[in-house]
């Protein structure tokens, strides 16, 4: 059954950020619809999807926003960050540059978002382990230094996708619930 006839206790906005092609859209598709499209084509314009779940006996509607390609033009606006209580900073573990850009994304996020925002660093595409360009320890160290949660995922194989969304939403609930 869907969202209707359900009393929603909380709506939590979570934004996905990171370079183009790291897998943000596919992570969202996997979490919200348990789908993966091999040829995902980013559309321009902000989009979000929702998923309702139960945390601590409360009905929580997660509203997950995807940049939908805006990041290619460095045009992610303050409206995108407005009201966000969580953020997922996504890099592609086979693309070192996408990890090196995390500091810049974090700076932009911290410049726009609420100071209590819960942030999770995500190294996506862990199914491509033979092409790994970012050691787990590098990401762990960055996450620890910046006070972020950290997880490696595969939207393709579903690895840790549910877990990372549940983790961030549970932390958000502990702060905002």
Rounded to 5 degrees, what angle do the CA atoms 65, 17, 115 make? 85
CB of 142 to ligand GDP, least distance (A): 19
Rounded to 5 degrees, what angle do the CA atoms 148, 98, 114 make? 35
CB of 23 to ligand GDP, least distance (A): 3
Strands in 149-152's sheet, in edge-to-edge order, are 47-55, 58-66, 10-17, 86-92, 118-124, 149-152
The rounded distance, in Å, linking the Cα atoms of 134 and 122 is: 12
**DSSP-assigned beta bridge partners for residue 66:** 47
45 phi/psi in degrees, rounded to 5 = 120, 150
Task: Tell me the per-residue interface mask from 123 to 162 with ligand GDP, x by CB under 6 A, - otherwise.
Answer: -xx-xx-------------------------xxx------
If one asks whether residue 40 binds ligand GDP (CB under 6 A), the answer comes out as: yes
Residue from 11, 32, 42, 46 in contact with ligand GDP (CB under 6 A): 42
Contacts of residue 33, defined as CB under 8 A and 6 or more positions apart, other chains included, come to 49
Nearest CB to ligand GDP, comparing residues 37 and 77: 37
If one asks whether residue 14 binds ligand GDP (CB under 6 A), the answer comes out as: no
Give how many residues touch ligand GDP by CB under 6 A: 17
CB of 58 to ligand GDP, least distance (A): 30
CB of 155 to ligand GDP, least distance (A): 4
Binding residues for ligand GDP, rule: CB under 6 A, are: 20-26, 38, 40, 42, 124-125, 127-128, 154-156
């Amino acid at each position: 059954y869907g969202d209707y006839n359900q009393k929603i206790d909380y709506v939590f906005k979570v934004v996905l950020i990171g370079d183009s092609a790291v897998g943000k859209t596919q992570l969202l598709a996997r979490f919200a619809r348990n789908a993966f499209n091999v040829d995902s084509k980013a559309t321009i314009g902000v989009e979000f999807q929702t998923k309702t779940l139960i945390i601590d006996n409360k009905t929580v509607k997660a509203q997950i926003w995807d940049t939908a390609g805006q990041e290619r033009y460095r045009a992610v606006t303050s409206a995108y960050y407005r009201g966000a209580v969580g953020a997922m900073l996504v890099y592609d573990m086979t693309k070192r540059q996408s990890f090196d850009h995390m500091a810049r994304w974090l700076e932009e996020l911290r410049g726009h978002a609420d100071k209590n925002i819960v942030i999770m660093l995500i190294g996506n595409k862990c199914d491509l382990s033979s092409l790994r360009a970012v050691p787990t320890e590098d990401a762990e160290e960055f996450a620890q230094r910046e006070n972020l949660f950290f997880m490696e995922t595969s939207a393709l194989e579903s690895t840790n996708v549910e877990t990372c969304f549940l983790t961030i939403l549970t932390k958000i609930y502990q702060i905002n619930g």
